Structure formats: C-alpha cells, structure tokens
Structure 1
Amino acid sequence: MERSWNVFVGTFEHSLDDKGRVVLPVTYRNHLNGQRGYISQWDLCLGVWTEEGFQDVAQRLTQKIREGQAPQEAMRAFSSNAHEVSADSQGRITIPQRLREFAGLDRDAVLIGAIDRIEIWNPERWTDQSSAADHSLVKAVTALGL
C-alpha cells in the first residue's frame, strides 16, 4: 500500500505564549486532520510529524542504525525527546520546555513547511539557515537538471 503524503509548505511567523504554546497555521492543522502528531528534535530546530510521518522517520532511522550508518544514540535522542501533540480548539500545540530549550525558542518562532513535516525554528537560526537553503536549492536544481 502506497503512503499518502501530507504536504506542508510555506513560512509563518508566530509567537509562543507564556505556556509554551504556538498556533499552527490553518493549512498545517488541515494536514494533521484533527489527529495527533509528534514533535521532537530535528537538525537545529523541532520537527512536527503526523503519526504516519513520525512512524516513517522512526523506521528509516532504525534501518540506518541496523546498517551501521547511524548511531543508536540518534534513536535514543529522537524517541526520548518526542512528545505527542494535538492542536487545541484555538489551533495551538504545546512545546515542552526541554524542546524549547533545544531549539532556542523564547518568544518568537518561525514555522516552515518541509514537505513531510513542520519545522519550528528560532528566528535567528532560521535566517542563517534559509540563506544556505536558498543556495543549496539553486545548486541542486542545476546539478539535477530540474
């Protein structure tokens, strides 16, 4: 059975409230279909996946560990820091304190769609990352002839 993709795209700037909650844009909430999702550490930011997307990443990471291409500690960090999330009636999800600290989130956040996941970035980190990402896209498009 082929997996149906939820496609997350776009960039949104939001503030965290005093309880560490951030509003998910309506388009992102629609892709979660009112279901639970999972949030965990990812790169220099936080990743939010649908349940199916989270299982897919966990399976791929498990395979890389079995093949000796990733350390077991990677799975420990990914799974032990993961939390189940679901949007409340106002579209907010709560980001646990430990994950806010990892991502350097204080008051403001940038939420970006990364096709199969939502990424939540510290605004300064995102500014640095987005410049590098723009350059990487140009190189990839040119090299792949897209």
Structure 2
Amino acid sequence: MFLGTHTPKLDEKGRIILPAKFRDELASGLVLARGQERCIYVFSATGFAEQVEKIRQAPLTSKLARDYVRIFLSGASDERPDKQHRVTIPPALRDYAGLDRDLTVIGAGDRAEIWSTEAWNAYYAEKEEAFSNTEEEVIPGLF
C-alpha cells in the first residue's frame, strides 16, 4: 500500500529516486500512466494489471469508456528501477504533468502519484478545507 508524502527531486536526465517506503513494492517493475488532475499515476506491475482488468469490463459501445482507455493506456510506460532505485519518467509524461525539478510524490493507496510540487501545493490548498469539513458520506461505507 502506498502512503505518505515525499519530496524527491527530478534529475537532469528525467529520473526520480523512488521513496524508500515504495521500493519493495515497485522493485520488480512499475507502470507510469497519465493521472487525472495532471499528475502521474505509479502502479506496481501487478496493480496496473488489475486496473487493466477493470478497464476491460467497460463496454466497447461506450464512447466515454473508449476515450478514457485511449488516453490512459496510450501514455502508459512500463519501467524498472535501476540499482540506485531511480526511474526515468518519459518526456511525454513529464510534459503532461508539468514536472520540473521539485516533485511531490504521494501515496494514494493502490498507487502513488507524482505531482509538480507547485501543482500539488495548489491542489492541496484548494481541497484540504473541503476534506476537513466533509459532513456526508463521500466513499460508501467509510463513515
């Protein structure tokens, strides 16, 4: 499970050092994909296979489903960390998420997310108060 907030740097070759807490789960391979809110989703190889299986359940006759699958899978990239636990983020994904040197990596349960620190701070500032003031069931069965 991916938890916490981490602030690694992107090096000049477009690589990120994986947070230590995530290394075991991602050591055998990972998949980077376009995430919503212009971040990058990071799945373990197994976690990505589970997502693809869920996607396969979408009806081929649904235009929204076809559009989602095309955008999500066309940008996906399978990667393997090197011996220093670095992973290269492909240029297209770096551009998509607006990544520069300062990054924020968050754990989001079944995946990690890579954000530009500036984008994460803006998102967090906008959403934190709404989170604190949640009065109704947002996720069924949670409260």
Equivalent in the alignment of 2:4? 10
Change (3 A) 1:114 1:67: farther
Equivalent in the alignment of 2:119? 125
Q: CA deviation at 1:63?
A: 2.4
2:131 and 2:62 map into 1 onto residues whose CA distance is 29
Per-residue displacement from partner, 1:86-111 (whole Å, max 9, x unpaired)?
Answer: 21111111000111000001211110
* Bigger mean CA deviation after superposition, 34-43 or 130-139: 130-139
Equivalent in the alignment of 2:35? 42
- Structure 1: gaps (5+ residues): 1-6
Q: CA deviation at 1:118?
A: 0.8
| Amino acid paired to 1:56 | E
* Identity across the alignment (%): 33
- Compute the TM-score of the two structures, normalised by the length of structure 2: 0.86
- Say whether the 8 Å CA contact 1:23–1:91 is kept in structure 2: yes
What secondary structure sits across from 2:136 in the alignment? helix
Change (3 A) 1:63 1:139: farther
- Say whether the 8 Å CA contact 2:8–2:19 is kept in structure 1: no
Change (3 A) 1:135 1:67: farther
- Say whether the 8 Å CA contact 1:61–1:70 is kept in structure 2: no
- Say whether the 8 Å CA contact 2:31–2:77 is kept in structure 1: yes
1:60 and 1:135 map into 2 onto residues whose CA distance is 32
| Structure 1 segment 37-76 matched on structure 2, within 5 A | 37-43=30-36, 44-66=38-60, 68=62, 70-76=64-70
Equivalent in the alignment of 2:85? 91
Match of 1:113 among 104, 107, 114: 107
- Compute the TM-score of the two structures, normalised by the length of structure 1: 0.84
- Structure 2: gaps (5+ residues): none
What secondary structure sits across from 1:143 in the alignment? coil
- Say whether the 8 Å CA contact 1:12–1:110 is kept in structure 2: yes
Give the total of aligned pairs. 138
| Amino acid paired to 1:38 | V
1:88 and 1:59 map into 2 onto residues whose CA distance is 28
| Amino acid paired to 2:115 | W
Cα root mean square deviation, aligned: 1.9
